[in-house]
Structure 1
Amino acid sequence: MKNNHREHWNSRSSFIFAAIGSAVGLGNLWRFPGQAFQNGGGTFLVAYLVAILTAGVPLLTLELAIGRKFQAAAPSAMGRMNKRFEWIGWLGVIASFIVVTYYMVILGWASDFFVHSFSLKWLGDVDYFKNNVLQQTASPGELGSFNPLLCLLVAVLWVIVWFCLRKGIKTVGLIAKITVITPLALLAALLIHGLTLPGAMDGIRYYITPDWNKLWDVNLWAAAYGQVFVSMSILMSVMIVYGSFLGKKSNLIGDALIIGGGDAAISFFSGFVIFTTLGYLSTITGTPIGDMEYQGIMLVFVTYPQAIAAFPGGQVVTILFSLCFFLMLLTLGIDSAFSMVETVTHSLTDKFGLSPKRTLIGVCLAGGVISLFFTSGAGLYWLDIIDHHINNFLLLLIGIAECIAVGWMFGTAPIREHLNLYAKPKFGRWWDVMIRYFCPAIFILIGISFVISNIVTPYMGFDYQYLIIGGWLAVALALAAGIGLQQAKGKPLPAADKGED
């Protein structure tokens, strides 16, 4: 039994652009280079490529197939597979909602820099991001003040998300064609200019040269797989929702390879942009790249303003490149925000039969209120803690549960058969092996190592009390909420037959 009234994409290109737009976001330009920088440059690239092939592509195709086969958002789709699986879908939805609440604040930071690019207010001030945008306190326990401009910008961004999503996924597909192509052109322009800077090649060499000894570090592999999950929007219920809007004759495998390949290519490409700049900063400061203190969000909001401020050509050129860079961040990020909000909205409407328009308003209002917490002086601390535990641990738990549910209880054969219906190329039994054996085994190994390493060494030196509240408690509450939503009474969905297509 299918949902015959479900929306569908206008065209294959609309779906592909929307899916790439979801996959390609701040995770590519902010998180990917940051992970590469913290994990040995070229060494991380090797681990990331392995993670894409062994987990990224298999899980992306799995989730698209689940969505199209069962024609429902993740919780309902998993529930139709087996009523005991619904909580797994809800766990991904909850992860999406948590992530989008702080993701919008990161877009707010980019908006602040974009607004002030006209006056270059941050020019020559290396502490502008910390003191003016974040108004950062000394620790997570000291909440501090709220930046009024940042609060306003975040509110405006939530209104933009609501406005763009109010007409449904057809609008998302159209907007994505603009917001995917535009940042690629801007990224190319920045790379061309970056290659002309002194020291650029030193940065590239650091980026692409592996240190093979570091491949034995389990934290490197945890970072690589976690980055694949975030970057490709898998295990967050997003791709199941997007797959549910596909027609029966869609080439799932071909589309997945385009989406995964496009996402990986843009990640690698953005790394060249960032590391040419790091090479330049290393040259002008005399500090070796490996000894530089930039990490995480600082790569975007500290490194780049410094580099842009030093561009030759005068104030006009500085303003132009600044506007281009921060506009690129906004256009890259907004599609990812769309997909996460859509995931939450459609999951609620599928389960409870709610009005899509009212549900969208409710999700945006709830997300907006929570986002305000991250605009406080302690916001970056809590963002970092939550991001670390959600993306590097909770998503691993979802991956383990999803692979066991499909691989060992429902069966991979019906999903693979559905996946291969109109696919070119087709997947063989190796795909079953990856879902049944390899992915859960590697996820369990990395998950255990993550727990041990984070107990032995507190993340970023934070006090354990903050890591427990913002990390482990957040994971526990997400698990409890997923189970609770499964138990909540909603609109009944028929159980699916294994042979259903």
Structure 2
Amino acid sequence: MAKKKNSFSGSLGFVLAAAGSAVGVGNIWRFPYLCAKDGGGLFLLVYLVLVVTFGFVLLTTDVAIGRRTKENALRAFGTLHPKWKFVGYLTFLVPMLIMTYYSVIGGWITKYFFEYLTTSGRDVAEDGYFTSFITEKNAPLIFTGIFLALTIWVVYRGVEKGIEKFSCFIMPGLILLVIGIAIFSLTLSYTDADGTVRTGIQGFLVYVRPDFTGLTVKGFLEVLLDAMSQLFFSLSVSMGIMVTYGSYVKDEIDLNKATNQIEFFDTGVALLSGMMIIPAVFVFLGRDGMASGPSLTFISLPKVFQAMGGAGHIVGLAFFLMLGFAALTSCVSVMETLVANCMEVFGKTRKQMCVMVGSYSLLTAVLICLGYNVLYFELKLPNGSTGQLLDVMDYISNSFLMPIISFLTSILIGWVVGPKWIVEEVEKNGEHFSRAGMYSFLIRYIVPAVMLVLFLVSTGFINML
């Protein structure tokens, strides 16, 4: 099979690009609030176990499929087995859905960064600011357009000159910012009106110490489901991205080592993000602030930065710069997956596909933005939550498609093609795949069972809770 013209220049470029895809808004925004909601250290413990088991299996599978077939996700599964090409179509749907709203979230982040860059940031800490902003008709569209234009520019430049070069520049800066703010959070202290002193170290202990108080089977299942959902969101698995990136990996690269490094980067940033956000929120807003859920980033954190005084403005600016970096690297990977697939399907150039995919992304992003004003509605979802247009797209991609794609992939690799197919690809250069036995057992027995249960529970087909 002919090798794809596009490729990463080496292992470092692939690892940083893949880590850039994995390290996104999910790590810095979603991980901390889920951790705070689900008992701190308990969520951490469950998540880490899932990373070294399910995360390792799903990431290795996606990357190995891409490199061995040298095809993007749309065609890779058909190359494995003609009757399973429909899985490639399902994976193509995931980035299509995610692209409709990811640039909108990126636009929100861009707006907050702009506010901290040009003002004191006092306004964004006011009650109702975030709701007022997203319900406007024009401002969200402008900032979404700016974010989307940056994404298109990086993807247009290609794999090595665009994605790899951008990731090699952005990722080290992002990691340094996360580490710096995390260390600063640990030094914070605050005395409230009744004289109670709260410190960053106390907040850190709340973050890492498992809380088993009142834990029930139902509660543990909620933690497990949240952690598994976060795993999909965080590692960019079961959405075609890592299959596409894997197709750009040269044969001489040690695949086992590279995937281990991606896991390390992604998990490390997630853990540091929790250490960065949870102690700071605990210091200034207490445990009630930690329970603020998805609004933690755009509503609670600006209040924390405001309470820090003069330093808060600098920290807020650095935080939203870092969050913008993370969102951009992830959005680039989503768009690259769509562009790479469409280039082969339609036989067009990268420039032409960037225009087409960019136009689709802009049109759908406009609809998502309007979903908070002129197209506003509330829909009850099968998992029991209520959401707007953005929430519907997120639900279909994350709660419906990703679990079923993982289930089907595990059946294909575990029982049709055979785990040996993946093991051989990982050991192509004579490298030892130390977790080959664990991989084979998990992909055949554990992953299909758990993914099926996750799909049934998250889509409301059964009520385990």
TM-score (norm 1): 0.82
Q: Write the distance in 2 (CA, Å) between the matches of 1:365 and 1:420.
A: 41
Q: Write the distance in 2 (CA, Å) between the matches of 1:427 and 1:191.
A: 32
User: Quick one: structure 1 residues 124 and 304, their matched pair in 2 at CA, closer, same or farther if it must change by over 3 Å?
Assistant: closer
Q: Is the 8 A contact 2:414 2:440 kept in 1?
A: yes
Aligned ranges 1:234-273 → 2 under 5 Å: 234-273=237-276
Q: How many residues align?
A: 436
- Matching of residue 435 in structure 1 with residue 443 in structure 2: yes
* Cα deviation 1:148-171 (Å, max 9, x = unaligned): 122011112221111111121012
- Matching of residue 150 in structure 1 with residue 140 in structure 2: yes
Shift of residue 210, structure 1, vs aligned partner:
1.6
Q: Write the distance in 2 (CA, Å) between the matches of 1:424 and 1:260.
A: 18
The letter of the residue matching 1:72 is E
Q: Write the distance in 2 (CA, Å) between the matches of 1:327 and 1:448.
A: 38
Q: Is the 8 A contact 1:251 1:424 kept in 2?
A: no
Match of 1:299 among 286, 296, 299: 296
Counterpart of 1:371? 365
Match of 2:280 among 277, 280, 285: 277
Residue 350 of structure 1: SS of its match in structure 2? Answer: helix
Match of 2:417 among 396, 410, 414: 410
User: Quick one: structure 1 residues 5 and 409, their matched pair in 2 at CA, closer, same or farther if it must change by over 3 Å?
Assistant: closer
Shift of residue 182, structure 1, vs aligned partner:
1.2
Shift of residue 395, structure 1, vs aligned partner:
0.7
Shift of residue 354, structure 1, vs aligned partner:
2.7
Counterpart of 1:129? 130
Q: Write the distance in 2 (CA, Å) between the matches of 1:167 and 1:292.
A: 41
Q: Is the 8 A contact 2:73 2:88 kept in 1?
A: yes
Shift of residue 202, structure 1, vs aligned partner:
3.0
Counterpart of 2:154? 164
The letter of the residue matching 1:370 is T
Counterpart of 2:86? 87
Counterpart of 1:195? 186
* Cα deviation 1:318-349 (Å, max 9, x = unaligned): 43222211111111111111111111111122
Counterpart of 2:192? none
User: Quick one: structure 1 residues 214 and 28, their matched pair in 2 at CA, closer, same or farther if it must change by over 3 Å?
Assistant: farther
The letter of the residue matching 2:255 is L
Q: Write the distance in 2 (CA, Å) between the matches of 1:265 and 1:5.
A: 32
Counterpart of 1:348? 342
Shift of residue 454, structure 1, vs aligned partner:
8.4
Q: Is the 8 A contact 1:223 1:392 kept in 2?
A: no
Q: Write the distance in 1 (CA, Å) between the matches of 2:245 and 2:185.
A: 36
The letter of the residue matching 1:429 is G
Shift of residue 76, structure 1, vs aligned partner:
0.9
Residue 10 of structure 1: SS of its match in structure 2? Answer: coil
Q: Write the distance in 1 (CA, Å) between the matches of 2:422 and 2:404.
A: 21
Q: Write the distance in 2 (CA, Å) between the matches of 1:211 and 1:445.
A: 25
Moved more, 12-21 or 412-421: 412-421
* Cα deviation 1:32-72 (Å, max 9, x = unaligned): 11221222222111111121122100111111111010001
Q: Is the 8 A contact 2:406 2:448 kept in 1?
A: yes
Please list every run of 5 or more consecutive structure 2 residues that lacks an aligned counterpart in the other structure: 190-197, 377-386
Please list every run of 5 or more consecutive structure 1 residues that lacks an aligned counterpart in the other structure: 136-144, 458-501
Residue 293 of structure 2: SS of its match in structure 1? Answer: coil
Match of 1:230 among 222, 228, 233: 233
Counterpart of 2:75? 76
Shift of residue 382, structure 1, vs aligned partner:
2.8
Q: Write the distance in 2 (CA, Å) between the matches of 1:107 and 1:130.
A: 16
Moved more, 3-12 or 213-222: 213-222
The letter of the residue matching 1:369 is L
Residue 388 of structure 2: SS of its match in structure 1? Answer: helix
Residue 375 of structure 1: SS of its match in structure 2? Answer: helix
Shift of residue 449, structure 1, vs aligned partner:
2.5
* Cα deviation 1:229-280 (Å, max 9, x = unaligned): 1101110111111110111111111100000111011101100111112211
- Matching of residue 102 in structure 1 with residue 109 in structure 2: no
Q: Is the 8 A contact 1:76 1:350 kept in 2?
A: no
Q: Write the distance in 2 (CA, Å) between the matches of 1:12 and 1:412.
A: 24
Residue 374 of structure 1: SS of its match in structure 2? Answer: helix
Q: Write the distance in 2 (CA, Å) between the matches of 1:302 and 1:202.
A: 22
* Cα deviation 1:206-228 (Å, max 9, x = unaligned): 21122343565322212111111
Q: Write the distance in 2 (CA, Å) between the matches of 1:159 and 1:116.
A: 19
User: Quick one: structure 1 residues 196 and 334, their matched pair in 2 at CA, closer, same or farther if it must change by over 3 Å?
Assistant: same
Q: Is the 8 A contact 2:77 2:84 kept in 1?
A: yes
CA RMSD of aligned residues (A): 2.1
Q: Write the distance in 2 (CA, Å) between the matches of 1:346 and 1:372.
A: 24
Q: Is the 8 A contact 1:420 1:427 kept in 2?
A: no
Residue 140 of structure 2: SS of its match in structure 1? Answer: helix
The percent of aligned pairs where both chains have the same amino acid is 25
Shift of residue 293, structure 1, vs aligned partner:
4.5
- Matching of residue 182 in structure 1 with residue 173 in structure 2: yes
Q: Write the distance in 2 (CA, Å) between the matches of 1:34 and 1:454.
A: 26
Q: Write the distance in 2 (CA, Å) between the matches of 1:71 and 1:104.
A: 28
Q: Is the 8 A contact 1:43 1:214 kept in 2?
A: no
The letter of the residue matching 2:185 is G
Counterpart of 1:498? none
The letter of the residue matching 1:28 is N
The letter of the residue matching 2:356 is G
The letter of the residue matching 1:71 is K
Aligned ranges 1:457-472 → 2 under 5 Å: none
Counterpart of 2:57? 58
Q: Is the 8 A contact 2:282 2:290 kept in 1?
A: no
Counterpart of 2:307? 310
User: Quick one: structure 1 residues 246 and 105, their matched pair in 2 at CA, closer, same or farther if it must change by over 3 Å?
Assistant: same
Q: Write the distance in 2 (CA, Å) between the matches of 1:205 and 1:392.
A: 31
The letter of the residue matching 2:80 is M
